[in-house]
Copies of this chain bind each other. A is one copy, B any other.
């Protein structure tokens, strides 16, 4: 049971952007360099975060990306719901591709639905702002220039 790499990277991108001053832009290259993640991967993640209204892109030579809302308004549950499009724990969660023959009478999906709801309820209690409370540690790894006052 894993998140897709997409969701994992989306959370990292949002944390990076949340460390910037409000309105300050970051570039995909910068995030790629600091995390050691390929730009190609990040472009897809950023595109999707933009489509979902979580970040905004400013075009042009001085362009870049930034959060579209304040960190306190970005719920972790919301990010996961928007990025993790495969929450089909077992085969029958997708009626289109299901081949399990007992799907019509099986009560396992009800149990798993309840477990998933409990999982998401915890994530819904946290926002990006909560993940940024360890700001100092994050800045020292991701923005060492900033820490040195550059």
Contacts and interface: CB of A to CB of B under 8 A. Distances in A.
**How many copies of this protein are present in the complex?**
2
Given A122-B115, A138-B105, A88 B2 contact: yes
Given A1-B87, A111-B76, A102 B8 contact: no
B84 A1 contact: yes
A90 to B, nearest CB: 5
Interface residues on A, range: 35 or more
Chain A binding surface SS class = helix
A106 interface: yes
B89 A3 contact: yes
Contact of A3 (B90, B100, B134, B140): B90
Interface stretch (A48-56, A57-65, A123-131): A123-131
